[in-house]
Amino acid sequence: MRLAELEGLMLNIGLALFACFIFFIIYDLAKRSKAGKFGTFVLFFALGLGLAAFLIKTIVVEIIGGHV
């Protein structure tokens, strides 16, 4: 395995761990603030959109960059 392949693999693993950590932070925020079911949903939806936009942007850039 070449260094570039290892770096790509580690980047994907790191991003997945980062996403899990972000969702844990959102869950902990909802729990500590006693947000309730609807409040927890709103927190996950609103704050999760930022993470989703980052991941979608990364995927779109890879798709566009791979076909050029």
Give the residue-averaged pLDDT of 29-40.
93
According to the model, what pLDDT value does residue 67 have?
A: 61
Give the residue-averaged pLDDT of 34-50.
91
Range of the domain at 63: 3-67
- Residue 34 has φ and ψ, to the nearest 5°, of 55, 55
Residues in the chain: 68
Query: Which residues, at least 6 apart from 43, have a Cβ–Cβ distance to it below 8 Å?
Result: 26, 29, 30, 35
Say yes or no to pLDDT of 38 above 70: yes
Number of domains in the chain: 1
CA distance 45 to 29: 13
Q: What is the DSSP-derived secondary structure letter of residue 47?
A: H
Say yes or no to pLDDT of 65 above 70: yes
